[in-house]
């Protein structure tokens, strides 16, 4: 999905499928497991479109679009030449646009789904393992097998199931020193000690680190404890020179002066000598890791926790 109408899909944030003569109401009444109803729909398509190629395939694509795509699902849209891709999230139910003639729309398809574009990037920046999903010639393909790679390309800090994920993009083609990973473990250990001293759950042992060193690559931290991993993300933010000013609700907040953030920043200053800080910063620089914008989500998560604890008292 994408191709000819890719730019309109991205600009106006929707996806669509053709065969306007088959109305959404008709598709909504069909049970995908009712083989008789599916066969009848296939025959209708043959009658309407005068012996189209692969009518069964048309049926499966219509059913998949209208029945199997749900709010929150991730959609990957390839550009016309597949050089560029946009990763999107479904934000609404399928609907039928009945007034196309009154709209400034190049796409003539009525059945549409609203989306939110999360990130647009050159295709070659994705993991090599995701490149296989572009081999499909179907308008709609299931890409569940590539979910982890897509999530990591789309977001730098995210929650999935019971786990929190922090992703650092490695942007160098040079050989990576093993000491760089040791520096990250030092930060993890210091963060664990801060958690112990402040009655915050979470340890370095509960955090998995996956390293993908292909096509530049990434460091992928996974933990079931959001507070520990959020603090680890903030530690990287502090050391890499990121700011801690966020917009939350109706407030603009400087977190560097707030409770747990101030305590953690001061703790890092006490426990990390200048040499260790510079070593970690050099590791970030040698891997050409930039502070991800999504790390501010970690700040907001911790701010919510801090605010809720204040209300308890």
For residue 249, the model assigns a pLDDT of 56
CB 100 within 8 A of CB 108: yes
Helix (H, G, I), strand (E, B) or coil at 80: coil
> With the C-alpha atoms ordered 130, 135, 139, 144, is the resulting torsion angle positive or negative?
negative
For residue 71, the model assigns a pLDDT of 96
Q: Which CATH architecture has domain 3-154?
A: Roll (3.10)
For residue 3, the model assigns a pLDDT of 75
For residue 310, the model assigns a pLDDT of 45
pLDDT in tens, 167-178: 877 777 777 677
CB 201 within 8 A of CB 225: yes
CA distance 306 to 299: 10
Sites in the chain below the pLDDT cut of 50: 309-313
CA distance 211 to 222: 11
For residue 208, the model assigns a pLDDT of 86
End-to-end CA distance of the chain: 52
For residue 225, the model assigns a pLDDT of 82
CB 216 within 8 A of CB 224: no
CA distance 291 to 72: 26
CA distance 50 to 30: 22
Rg (C-alpha) for the chain, rounded Å, is 24
33 φ, ψ to 5°? -90, -5
CA distance 89 to 102: 27
> With the C-alpha atoms ordered 52, 55, 57, 59, is the resulting torsion angle positive or negative?
positive
Return residue ranges of the chain for CATH 3.10.590.
3-154
Q: Which residues of 114-128 are buried (b: 16+ CB within 10 A; e: fewer)?
A: bbeeeeeeebeebbe
Helix (H, G, I), strand (E, B) or coil at 155: coil
Task: Quote the pTM value.
Answer: 0.76
CA distance 22 to 45: 8
Query: Which residues are within 8 A (CB) of 250 and not within 5 positions of it... i.e. 6 or more apart?
Result: none
Long-range contacts of 98-102 (CB under 8 A, 24+ apart): none
pLDDT in tens, 144-190: 999 988 998 888 888 888 888 888 777 777 776 777 778 788 888 99
Query: Which residues are within 8 A (CB) of 125 and not within 5 positions of it... i.e. 6 or more apart?
Result: 153, 215, 216
For residue 272, the model assigns a pLDDT of 83
Closest CA to 139 of 66, 81, 61: 61
């Amino acid at each position: 999905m994408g191709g000819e109408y890719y730019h309109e899909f991205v600009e106006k944030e929707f996806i669509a499928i053709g065969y306007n003569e088959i109305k959404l109401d008709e598709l909504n009444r069909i049970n995908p497991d009712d083989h008789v109803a599916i066969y009848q729909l296939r025959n209708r398509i043959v009658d309407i479109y005068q012996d189209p190629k692969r009518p069964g395939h048309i049926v499966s694509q219509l059913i998949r679009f209208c029945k199997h795509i749900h709010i929150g699902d991730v959609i990957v849209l390839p550009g016309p030449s597949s050089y560029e891709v946009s990763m999107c999230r479904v934000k609404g139910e399928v609907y039928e646009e009945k007034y196309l003639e009154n709209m400034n729309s190049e796409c003539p398809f009525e059945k549409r789904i609203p989306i939110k574009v999360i990130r647009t990037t050159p295709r070659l920046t994705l993991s090599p393992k995701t490149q296989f999903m572009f081999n499909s010639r179907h308008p709609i393909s299931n890409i569940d097998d590539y979910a982890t790679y897509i999530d990591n390309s789309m977001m730098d800090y995210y929650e999935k199931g019971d786990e929190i994920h922090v992703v650092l993009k490695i942007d160098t083609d040079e050989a990576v020193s093993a000491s760089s990973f040791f520096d990250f473990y030092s930060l993890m250990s210091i963060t664990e000690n801060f958690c112990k001293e402040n009655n915050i759950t979470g340890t370095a042992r509960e955090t998995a680190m996956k390293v993908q060193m292909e096509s530049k690559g990434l460091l992928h931290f996974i933990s079931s404890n959001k507070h520990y991993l959020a603090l680890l993300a903030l530690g990287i933010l502090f050391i890499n020179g990121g700011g801690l000013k966020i917009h939350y609700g109706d407030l603009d907040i400087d977190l560097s002066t707030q409770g747990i953030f101030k305590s953690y920043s001061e703790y890092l200053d006490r426990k990390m000598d200048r040499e260790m800080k510079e070593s970690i910063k050099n590791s970030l620089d040698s891997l050409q890791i930039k502070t991800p914008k999504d790390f501010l989500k970690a700040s907001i998560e911790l701010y919510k926790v801090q605010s809720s604890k204040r209300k308890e008292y």
